[in-house]
Every structure is written in structure tokens, then in C-alpha cells.
Amino acid sequence: MRSILAAAFAALILTQASNVGAANFCASFGPAQAEAIGLTLPGKGSCAAFNGFFRNRPGLLLAGDVCRSSNGTTFLFNLFTQTAGLTDSLAGTWAAVTGKGSGMECFNTPCLSFTVTVTKCPATVTIPADLATPVDGSGSSGLTSGDAEPAASE
């Protein structure tokens, strides 16, 4: 009986251990608040792909990659989304120790620089049921500039 209980306990521990580490990852790129679903940051000299959304831009989805430098000091990322029907790309770095860095957003040229800050994700994930109301991209300056207000979601 003890061996059955021990085996059941071991199975429970292994099941719980496999769920650890696959939490959401959040960062601010200037005023843009990104959340990557189930991202575990990679170890030294490796990369990971992710999908997610911008918390302050309803329905604006993102996809990208993050790599950790071989010496483990820096994370490098790139991500792609669409803004006003046009491709929008963000790329940059942050220090592993401080969670701070910088990047460039290239949308409707010229490219814009922004700060990167790793943040704590909210306790609950709310993915909108609809896309943000599209806006004309001719005067928009992108996600990271803070010039354009987020589109309202109904």
C-alpha cells in the first residue's frame, strides 16, 4: 500500500512540475503593453517562439521570437503585428539582470526608438472577443510612440 501511495505522490509531483515555468510573460515597449502566452524565457544560447497580444490594444495580436545571449546577460527579441492594416515590427534587447532595455519599432517609417521594461503580468488574462477598430495608418506613428490612443473595443 505504501508503494502505491508513494507512486501516486511521485506522479502528482511530476505532473505539477511539468506545469511550472510556462507562465505568461509581460513587457512594456514604451506605452505598448505586450503579453506572451505561456512563454518560458530561454536559457543561455537558445531561443523561443511566442504568440500573444497587446493588453492595451484590444484584439491586436503578436508573434515573435526571443533569444538569450550565450553569456546569459541579454535577451534579444523581435515581434510582428499589424497596425492600421500595415505590418509593424519591433526589435530590441533587455538586460537579464535589470529587465530594462531598448528597441526600435518600424512602422510607417521612420523607425522609432522605445524603452523596454519587463513587467509583472496581471493575475487574469483577458483576450478580447473582437479586433480593435481599425484606423487609417497614414498619420499613425505606431504602438510605441504613445501618440495614438488605443482603439475602443465594444
What digits encode the pLDDT tens for the residues 11-58?
333 333 333 446 899 999 999 999 999 999 999 999 999 999 988 887
- Cell readout for 141 is 506613428
Residue-wise DSSP of 4-34: HHHHHHHHHHHHHHHHTT---EEEEETTEEE
Identify which has the larger pLDDT, 125 or 22. Answer: 125
Contact 48, 39 (CB under 8 A): yes
Indicate the range of 19-33, 68-82, 95-109 predicted with least confidence: 19-33
pLDDT given at position 3? 44
Distant-in-sequence, close-in-space partners of 7: CB < 8 Å, separation ≥ 6 = none
Tens digits of residue pLDDT in 132-151: 655 444 445 567 765 443 33
| Rg (alpha carbons) of the chain, rounded to whole number | 19
Domain residue ranges of the chain, discontinuous segments joined by +: 22-119
- Tell me how far CA of residue 28 lies from CA of 48, 100, 118, 129, in angstroms: 19, 10, 6, 22
pLDDT at position 4 over 70 = no
pLDDT at residue 78, rounded to an integer: 96
pLDDT at 154 over 60: no
Q: Looking up cell 507562465, which residue turns up?
A: 23
Rounded to the nearest integer, the mean pLDDT of the chain is 77
How many other C-beta atoms lie within 10 A of the C-beta of residue 60?
21
Asked whether the predicted pLDDT for residue 71 surpasses 90, the reply is yes
Long-range contacts of 127-132 (CB under 8 A, 24+ apart): 127/53, 128/53, 128/58, 128/59, 128/153, 130/58, 130/59, 130/154, 131/58, 131/59, 131/60, 132/57, 132/58, 132/59, 132/60
How many CB atoms sit inside 10 A of residue 114's CB?
22
